Structure 1
Amino acid sequence: MTHRQVLQALTGLLAAFFTAILSSTIVANALPTIMDQLHGTQTDFAWVITASLLANAATTPIWGKLADLFDKKLLVQVSIIIFVGGSVMAGFATTIPFLLTARVIQGIAMGGLTALAQAIIGTIIAPRERGRYSGYMGAVMAVGTAGGPLLGGYIVDSPLGWRWTFFVCVPLAVLSLLLLQFTLKIEHIRRPAKVDWVGSLLLASGVSLILIWVSFAGQAGYYDWISVQSALMVGGTVVLLAALIWVETKVSQPIIPLKIIVQRTPALAIIASVSVGIAMFAASTYLGQYYQVARGATPTEAGLLTLPMIAGNLAGAVFSGQMVTRYGKWKRFLVGGAILLIVGLGFTGTISHETNLTLVGSYTFIFGLGLGMMMQNLVLAVQNTVAVKDIGSASGAVAFFRTVGGAAGVAVLGALMSTRVANLINEGLAKIGIKPAGGSGATMDLTSLPAPVKVIVRAAYGDGAALIFMISAIITVVALIAVLFMKEIPLRRTIDMVDTKPAAEPGAGSAGAGRHAAGSESVVTVAEESLESMADAVVGAPEPTK
């Protein structure tokens, strides 16, 4: 396909991807207002984000497997229809539980759009050229991330109110549905369809249980970190995930492709993706809250104040994508992105409710730059190691672990921040002679508070936000270590993996044959002896190819 044909094919897909990103970020600056009107707490605030991410994470591998089995175009359209339903429900929410249910439905659809977008790009574009288009996807993500808070802030401040932050995504989704119908033309090869439903159920149950535990453990009104409830939840999670691993080794088409993700590059990319997911979702979730609650910014102003982070994300994604396509090297951008992410988050971890906003913006620009350089290139590194028939599963696995990391990060950091903010508020109230009232979470309803108390609450949220970013910086060190140990395999110029050596050389092709699980329809052989040795060490003895 020519560059023009690829762009035409991706038009509707990128429009759908943009809608999904916009829907998740448009809520960020509306959440303080939503929590105020629906009487939510800091824990509720975190779970409005976590519920969507959890559904996204649990269903992404399922969508990825379906992408390997069914028509990808039809699946994208189905996910858009589900998304429209969830958005309408969220717009009509009158209670926190109803809103959480709607967010779960939105998350299911977003899991499909995320996995399918990566799978389709991997199906029609060779890895060497994919950096450019991954950069485009990163740019769309950056624009959606930037436009979301701005549009959401404007809508909340307008007579329309916060409900239209959900309704406004409906016409955009319908438009992307129509564009997909006319622009996306990809060939689907029919194969026997078999989805690992048992594995899917175990996966969703295990991930949900551990996230519920970390969200409420140690909070007033719930249970302690060390308690019978905690033991039952952690034990149940271990049992469910152990059962999942056992099932995945037995089924013919597992939902989590163990034979792929245990290889060196995918395994390290997944570890890095978890860390990046925590940094990305935690930063985007709590940065808007910091500006509004701690600094007194309006939703529109908060959207404008997040622009430095978005600008960094956009610049990092586009620049690294173009450079990867030009030179075929990706590891240097992952290492540089991880370093920038650690530095930016570390500096942001020093902020308080009095830090100069220009300084805060410069810090967020740095870690935004790091995010842009890492996110798409991690997926690219994994896609370069698998055959096209496994693109959906491999891409879905990376997106799954990244989103699980984000969901866990938002839940855990939200719980830690709730406790930190509550303690700071109690200390502040004690200083002015007011006895703190008990509760299950730090309040976000500031409208009815007396002026002296409001000052204390704002200061608590401002100082408490630093904890979120500092912990994220420490976690991102894991991503840096992971990418440092990744072996840079040159990006291939073919869409699928191909034989490059004669079949008559039984010894020479062993490394290439061992690069993939038994039954792979195509194999790749690599000239460099070091890469052959690495492949043999990771995968083991080769098996005959079909």
Structure 2
Amino acid sequence: MPDTTTEPGATGPDPTATPTTGADTPAPLGRRDVLQAISGLMLGMFMAILASTIVSNALPRIISDLNGSQSVYTWVVTTELLAMTATVPLWGKMADLYSRKLLIQLSLAMFVLGSLVAGFAPNIEVLIASRIAQGLGAGGISALATIVMAAMIPPRELGRYSGIFGAVFGVATVAGPLIGGILVDTSWLGWRWCFFIGVPFTLASIALLQKTLHLPVVRKEVTIDWLGAALIVTGVSTLLVWSSLAGNKFAWASGWTALLVAVGVVLLALAVFVEGRAKDPVVPLSIFRNRTVTMSIIASALVGVAMFGGTVFLSQYFQIGHGMSPTKAGLLSLPLIFGLLVSSTVAGQLISKYGRWKAYLVAGGVIMVAGMLLLSTIGAGTAIPLVAVYMAVLGVGVGLLMQNLVLAAQNDVPAKDLGATTSTLTFFRSLGGAVGVSALGAVLANRISSDFAERFPGAPTGGSSTAVPDLTTLPEPVRLIVQDIYGSATAHLFLVATPIAVIAAIAVLLIKEKPLMTLSGDERLAAEMANTH
């Protein structure tokens, strides 16, 4: 007989389980118990997400020290995001087979290993490989943390905790450049501590989870669709490679573009075919029949583009467009952090108090579009306080959207689909971030390359070999031109990203508001199992 103990965070009923009675219904947890249980998750999530952006302010120094070029600039970020994205569904599926507590600790341990290797990296190739290991660990904690939360807390109360969790996620994303900048500018530390700094905190998270997170182990008769997973990862990776290299290594309209796009689309089409026939698909296609889930997935992916793309390239804008140090560039990310933190936390509290949520999503979509449009007007001569206001507007919009999209989707699916829905949302949000950084990085590099060719005719400035400039080594007239090039290129990047934000706002408008449920995922699962027997 299989073990039919229901684990907090379970994504669906065991098909062989005996009928569940009222006595088996999990007792609701008090606020103190919940806070203790998610404290370790929050710390682990903070460090895992921090790794995605902590290098953004340090990248110019890292690329220079390791003799890299502009074309590998985004890959230091993209490889970590890609590894995290590709493995999120797999972590969610493995949670149906093994101890979730053990899986979370394992993912954190992988993150520690990747961080140590990255800190000691002797060249850019080892650094990129170590970032993949970091991404594998980050994918685990990203997938499992939200699943466990949804199982322990009813949607009506989840807004309060989701707001806090969303704030942790957002602050980790946006605070990375600040922390990275301070480390780079501290002479006795340096950029390698951008990787070392996460090790003690992640180890503390593992210890805290061991003490506070108590999840009974459940084993269900499910399998992992490895073929579907491989097709998804390969297809997404192919399109990501194309979006990163197009405009640099080869033209957008070229044979390489046709080949890579065709291969990526065919692989993803095969993945849809395989997943539609798999017994336990990695990404269940059935959840896309739910309009709320589908629109939330679309909006989440596009929010990922705004969040990751904005933080990575605004850092470079301040350092090169305004000639600031990494620390100052990091400090200038505070308006974005503040806007995101306040909007996410306040909206979460209000949603739990009044039970209404769509108005915050619609407002977030509109405000995010406004933030993108405002940032598309910046240049090397734009006053810093004005840029700070524009960043705060973008932060407010992203904060209202990010975690509340997850809440809306979780509230509109059966408890048995909570895990699949949550991991799929996380997958597409991370995918949006990875594609956003890669694609927007390609747009930026292409614009910089063409502007250099126009302003410095005859200079050897091919897009694939253009090094990130060190302003301190340039004569004054050249420095001013370089700053102007990077300032206008960054504005162009946000102009290109604005239609993406508009599509996200439209997707949010199409979501139908439904009352928030008052039972936790475990309680709903027990009721569903009782009704099916």
Fold conserved (TM > 0.5)?
yes
Which residue in 2 is equivalent to 1:300?
A: 327
Residues 175-254 of structure 1: matches in 2 within 5 Å?
A: 175-219=204-248, 222-254=249-281
Which residue in 1 is equivalent to 2:519?
A: 494
Following superposition, the deviation at residue 39 of structure 1 comes to 2.4
Residue 28 of structure 1 contacts residue 149 of structure 1 at CA under 8 Å; is this kept in 2?
A: yes
Could you give the per-residue CA deviations for residues 272-317 of structure 1, whole angstroms, max 9, x where no partner exists? 1121111111001101111111111111111111100000000111
Partners of 1:90 and 1:270 in 2: how far apart? 32
Q: 1:39 to 1:445 in 2, by over 3 A?
A: farther
Residue 175 of structure 2 contacts residue 334 of structure 2 at CA under 8 Å; is this kept in 1?
A: no
1:73 equivalent among 71, 94, 101 = 101
Partners of 1:27 and 1:307 in 2: how far apart? 16
TM-score (norm: length of structure 2): 0.90
Following superposition, the deviation at residue 227 of structure 1 comes to 2.8
User: Are 1:356 and 2:383 matched, yes or no?
Assistant: yes
1:473 equivalent among 477, 482, 498 = 498
1:64 maps to a residue whose letter is G
Which residue in 2 is equivalent to 1:537?
A: none
Could you give the per-residue CA deviations for residues 338-368 of structure 1, whole angstroms, max 9, x where no partner exists? 1110001110110000000000000000010
1:443 equivalent among 444, 459, 467 = 467
Could you give the per-residue CA deviations for residues 220-256 of structure 1, whole angstroms, max 9, x where no partner exists? xx32323332222122112211111111111111000
1:440 maps to a residue whose letter is S
Which residue in 2 is equivalent to 1:527?
A: none
Number of aligned pairs?
502
Higher relative contact order (CA 8 A, sep 6+): 2
User: Are 1:50 and 2:83 matched, yes or no?
Assistant: no
Following superposition, the deviation at residue 443 of structure 1 comes to 2.2
1:374 equivalent among 398, 401, 404 = 401
Residues 63-462 of structure 1: matches in 2 within 5 Å?
A: 63-158=91-186, 159-219=188-248, 222-430=249-457, 435-446=459-470, 447-462=472-487
1:444 maps to a residue whose letter is V
Residue 159 of structure 2 contacts residue 351 of structure 2 at CA under 8 Å; is this kept in 1?
A: yes
Following superposition, the deviation at residue 384 of structure 1 comes to 1.0
Partners of 1:394 and 1:245 in 2: how far apart? 16
Q: Which moved further from structure 2: 478-487 or 60-69?
A: 60-69
Q: 1:307 to 1:376 in 2, by over 3 A?
A: same
1:11 equivalent among 39, 58, 68 = 39
2:169 maps to a residue whose letter is M
Could you give the per-residue CA deviations for residues 51-74 of structure 1, whole angstroms, max 9, x where no partner exists? 111111111111112223322111
Partners of 2:117 and 2:222 in 1: how far apart? 32
Residue 337 of structure 2 contacts residue 395 of structure 2 at CA under 8 Å; is this kept in 1?
A: yes
C-alpha RMSD of matched pairs (Å): 1.9
Q: 1:429 to 1:483 in 2, by over 3 A?
A: same
Could you give the per-residue CA deviations for residues 413-444 of structure 1, whole angstroms, max 9, x where no partner exists? 111111111122222224xxx64544514321
Which residue in 1 is equivalent to 2:22?
A: none
DSSP 3-state at the match of 2:32:
helix
DSSP 3-state at the match of 1:69:
coil
DSSP 3-state at the match of 2:95:
helix
Which residue in 2 is equivalent to 1:532?
A: none
Q: Tell me, which stretches of 5 or more residues in structure 2 are unaligned?
A: 1-28
Q: Percent identity?
A: 45
Residue 173 of structure 2 contacts residue 308 of structure 2 at CA under 8 Å; is this kept in 1?
A: no
DSSP 3-state at the match of 1:68:
coil
Could you give the per-residue CA deviations for residues 456-507 of structure 1, whole angstroms, max 9, x where no partner exists? 22221111000121222221111111111111111100113889xxxxxxxx
Could you give the per-residue CA deviations for residues 513-532 of structure 1, whole angstroms, max 9, x where no partner exists? xxxxxxx98659xxxxxxxx
Partners of 1:120 and 1:498 in 2: how far apart? 13
Partners of 1:462 and 1:324 in 2: how far apart? 39
Residue 276 of structure 1 contacts residue 375 of structure 1 at CA under 8 Å; is this kept in 2?
A: yes
Partners of 2:342 and 2:222 in 1: how far apart? 41
Following superposition, the deviation at residue 104 of structure 1 comes to 1.2
Partners of 1:302 and 1:120 in 2: how far apart? 36
Partners of 1:437 and 1:206 in 2: how far apart? 32
Could you give the per-residue CA deviations for residues 54-106 of structure 1, whole angstroms, max 9, x where no partner exists? 11111111111222332211111000010011111111122222211111111
DSSP 3-state at the match of 1:194:
coil
Residue 127 of structure 1 contacts residue 380 of structure 1 at CA under 8 Å; is this kept in 2?
A: yes
TM-score (norm: length of structure 1): 0.88
Partners of 2:179 and 2:247 in 1: how far apart? 36
